[in-house]
């Protein structure tokens, strides 16, 4: 059974930073998605199993960095210059296949961590 445990969410003022972590029970291609109230879940960032390839949504490009520590089977999402519109529940996801921007490519999902950005 694959387990994904997210941490690092919280309340931050606009312009601030947060680092989300996702500890996995193995090595997979990983992605971060988010879902704001009343909206569909959307892609944020993804990283390949090796960490050599990364992908970002246009809305976070330049403000977020996805990285992984394969010794710890942990993926991080560093988020800087946060905006109120970044407020959402953030989910990490694991894929047996290649990293992808599509939800359907992921086989396992974490429970989500809340990120709230105040104006």
Structure tokens at 47: 């990283």
Report pLDDT for 65.
Answer: 98
Report pLDDT for 105.
Answer: 97
Reported as a single tens digit per residue, the pLDDT across 90-110 is 999 999 999 999 999 999 999
Reported as a single tens digit per residue, the pLDDT across 47-83 is 999 999 999 999 999 999 999 999 999 999 999 999 9
Structure tokens at 11: 């309340």
Q: What is the chain's Cα-based Rg?
A: 13
Structure tokens at 88: 């959402």
User: Which string of b and e fits 74-98 if b means at least 16 CB within 10 Å?
Assistant: bbbbebeebeeebbbbbbbbbbeee
| Main-chain phi, psi angles of 103, to 5 degrees | -55, -40
What is the SS3 assignment for 78?
Answer: strand
Furthest C-alpha separation in the chain: 40
Reported as a single tens digit per residue, the pLDDT across 5-27 is 999 999 999 999 999 999 999 89
């Amino acid at each position: 059974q694959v387990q994904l445990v997210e941490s690092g969410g919280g309340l931050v003022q606009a312009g601030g930073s947060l680092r989300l972590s996702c500890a996995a029970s193995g090595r997979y291609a990983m992605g971060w998605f988010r879902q704001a109230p009343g909206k569909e879940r959307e892609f944020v960032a993804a990283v390949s199993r090796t960490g050599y390839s990364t992908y970002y949504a246009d809305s976070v490009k330049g403000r977020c960095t996805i990285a992984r520590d394969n010794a710890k089977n942990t993926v991080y999402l560093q988020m800087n210059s946060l905006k109120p519109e970044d407020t959402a529940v953030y989910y990490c996801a694991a894929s047996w296949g290649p990293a992808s921007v599509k939800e359907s490519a992921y086989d396992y999902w974490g429970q989500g961590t809340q990120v709230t950005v105040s104006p």
